[in-house]
Structures are given as structure tokens and as C-alpha cells.
Amino acid sequence: MKKKLLKNTEWTVLIVSLLLFVIGLVALFSATQSTQYGEFKKQIQWFLVSIPFLVLAYWIDYNLIARFSTVIYLVMMGLLVGVLFTEPINGARSWYQFGDSASIQPSELAKVVVVLFISFLINKLQLRGRKQINKIWKLLIALFFMAIPIGLIVIQPDYGTAMAYIFAMLFILFVSGIDKKYIIVACLLVAVLVPVAYNRLPEHALKRIEVFLNPESDPRGDGYNIIQSKLAIGAGQLLGMGLFQGNQTQLGFLYPKTTDFIFSVIGEEFGFIATATILVLYVILVTKIIYIAKTAKDNMGTYIAIGIGGIFFFHMLENIGMTIGLLPITGVPLPFVSYGGSSLITNFICIGLLLNISSRRQKSYL
């Protein structure tokens, strides 16, 4: 049995994630030399912490894990409520702080829990057939339980992370057999509500959008980060300026260079070839996730895999897009590359689940 699981496992997703992690470590090593490599060392520690979570997510049958997702979902919702009463960090109440050096971001950890629970819920709602999700009351139940974490995260406020949940839900609904009429209605609602929501955004969110459209309008204020990011990536040209040689990186013009703008560090010091390699690795990762979802043995596996794929796709798209000025800055980390303990643990749990789902296919598709 164990040999069959190992044979069927889609090891490519693990290899790609480890390659991205190594690239991120090299970038962190350069970006943290002025701070005695503090975050670089912590990232290695967080990786070691992630390993047992990865192994458990791989070996325990994902259907068994999903059965407990309701309880874990409730616990996570409690944590998302509790974090709203903590002291704000950088204007957001998103972290539980433990001492001076450790913090946990529940909205990151809740991603995998919410994907598991929503997948479990939709699977239950479809016991009499896949078309059952098109009954309006069943669809509203699924949307309601997704809206709870999204609403709590928006309140923090953390619009970028909230969007990751929305992408996960959209991906899951798309493969669940939802009727096209709901897709058309949703598109029309978005077209109507976006202008209304834009006028109701808080001032700092409006400022970010305005700066995104015209960074030079506030070059020393809100436009500063995106201008420096594009300067860094442009300065790298084809092969980069070299390790420890990036002007924007080493002179402190990029901030925060270990999380939001780690892609800019890589672009400046290692050039277009390195950034293109990262893009190729993410394309391979998302493609393999879609393949795992397609070949899963049951709907549960398909929904979990495609939900994870939606999260990774959004994070890749948003982080890289904002560093090159194509999307607004939202503070979304680059999976496996950016510094962050909660993010790294969550990402490797997701990889463990993907390995889990692929290993339990009826036969090897490799």
C-alpha cells in the first residue's frame, strides 16, 4: 500500500516548491545582511517547523482530515475574531504577537482550513448529484460559510488575503458543476457593485489605487515603494547586479524587502533570467495542481486541490503584478519565496495535501 502511494504521488509539486524556497532563501540571505541575517535564519527555522506538518498532511487520508474540518473551521473563526482585539501592526490587526520576535497570522493558517471545510461542505451538499450545488439555498449555504472568514479578514483590514479566499471559492465553484447562469449573474453583480464599493473604500485603500494608477503623483509618499520596486527590477537587466550588489536592496530603498518586495530583490540582484525562472516554476506548480485536481479519485480531492490552486495562483499573480506596477500593492506574500512563518507553514501544508490527493489516485498517471 505504501509503495502504491509513493508511486502515484505527484512529486513535482514538492520539488518545485522546494526550488522556490531555495531561491527565496538566497534572496533573503542577501536582503538581511544588514540585520545579521535575522529573517534568513528564522525562515530556515520556520521551514524545519513546516516539515512535520507537511508529512502529516501527506500521510493522513485527506477524507479523514476533511471530516474534522468543521471543528477546525470553528476554532479558526474564533481566532479571526480574537485577532481583531489585538494591537494593530502596520495599521492592521492581523497578528497574534508572542514576545518580541514571534507572531502568528491566523488568516494565513485559516486558508487551508477554509478550503478543506468548503470542499467538505459542497461535497455533502452534492450527495444526490453534482447538480445539487445549483439549488439556490445550497449555493447560498456555501457562500455564507465562505463569507464569514472573508468578512473578518476585511475588517482587519487585509484586502489582499481576503481576495485569496475569493479566488479559492471561485475555483472550487467552477469545477463543482455550477450552472453558467450563476457565473453570468455574478459577473453582472461585480460590474454593478465595483463602482459602488470603490466609492465606499477607506481613504488608505483609495490612496493605494490612485498611486497604482499614477505612482509619480506621490513619489515620496505612497508611490515610493512601487517606484523603488520598478527601479530595482529594471536595474537587474538580464543577469542582475550580483549577490549583495543591488543598490535598492542594500541601501534600504526597498521596503519591506523580505516580504512584499522579495521579487524585486531577486530581479535587481539576479536579473530577468531568475525572475523568468520563478514564473516558469509557478506555471509548472499551478499546472500540476490542476492535473491533480483533474485526476483525483473523488470530488473531495478535486475541490481541495483546485481550491489550493486558486490560492497559489492569486498570490503569484498579485505579488508579482504589484512589484512591477501592473496591480495595486496589497501586501500579499510570494508563496515559498517571501519571509513569513505562518505563510510558509500554510503553503507546505497545502503541498502535503496535494501530495496526499495525488497518491490516492486509482493508478499512477505519471
* Segment 144-201, tens digit of pLDDT: 999 999 999 999 888 889 999 999 999 999 998 888 888 888 888 877 877 777 777 7
* Cα distance between residue 79 and residue 107, in whole Å: 9
pLDDT at 362 over 70: no
The band of 29, judged by pLDDT with boundaries at 50, 70 and 90, is: very high
Q: What are phi and psi of 237, to 5 degrees?
A: 50, -135
Sign of CA dihedral 227, 230, 232, 237: negative
The separation between CA 209 and the C-alpha centre of its own chain, rounded to angstroms, equals 21
Query: Tell me, what's the pLDDT at 2?
Result: 67
**CB under 8 Å to 210, separation ≥6 — which residues?**
217, 222
Q: What is the largest distance, in Å, between two alpha-carbon atoms of the chain?
A: 62
All 3 cell numbers of residue 295? 485526476
Closest CA to 61 of 364, 363, 352: 352
All 3 cell numbers of residue 60? 493522513
Q: Assign 102 to helix, strand or coil.
A: strand
**CB crowding 304-333: b at 16 or more within 10 Å, else e:** bbbbbbbbbbbbbbbbbbbbbbebbbbbbb
Mean pLDDT of 41-50: 95
Highest mean pLDDT, choosing among 53-67, 86-100, 187-201: 53-67
Element (H, E) at 78: helix 69-82
The separation between CA 102 and the C-alpha centre of its own chain, rounded to angstroms, equals 20
Element (H, E) at 179: none
Look at the pTM and tell me if it is higher than 0.75: yes
The band of 365, judged by pLDDT with boundaries at 50, 70 and 90, is: very low
pLDDT at 126 over 60: yes
* Cα distance between residue 253 and residue 280, in whole Å: 28
Q: Mark residue 66 as left, alpha or beta (left: phi above 0; alpha: psi -120 to 50; beta: remaining).
A: alpha
The band of 233, judged by pLDDT with boundaries at 50, 70 and 90, is: very high
What is the distance in angstroms between the CA of the first residue and the CA of the last residue of the chain? 18
All 3 cell numbers of residue 2? 505504501
* Cα distance between residue 361 and residue 356, in whole Å: 9
Element (H, E) at 104: strand 102-104
Closest CA to 278 of 234, 316, 235: 316
Helix axes 341-359, 299-323, angle to 10 degrees: 140
* Cα distance between residue 249 and residue 343, in whole Å: 22
* Cα distance between residue 143 and residue 23, in whole Å: 37
Contacts by residues 31-40 (CB-CB < 8 Å, ≥ 24 positions apart) = 31/249, 31/257, 31/258, 31/262, 31/265, 32/258, 33/244, 33/250, 34/250, 34/252, 39/258, 39/339
All 3 cell numbers of residue 159? 484586502
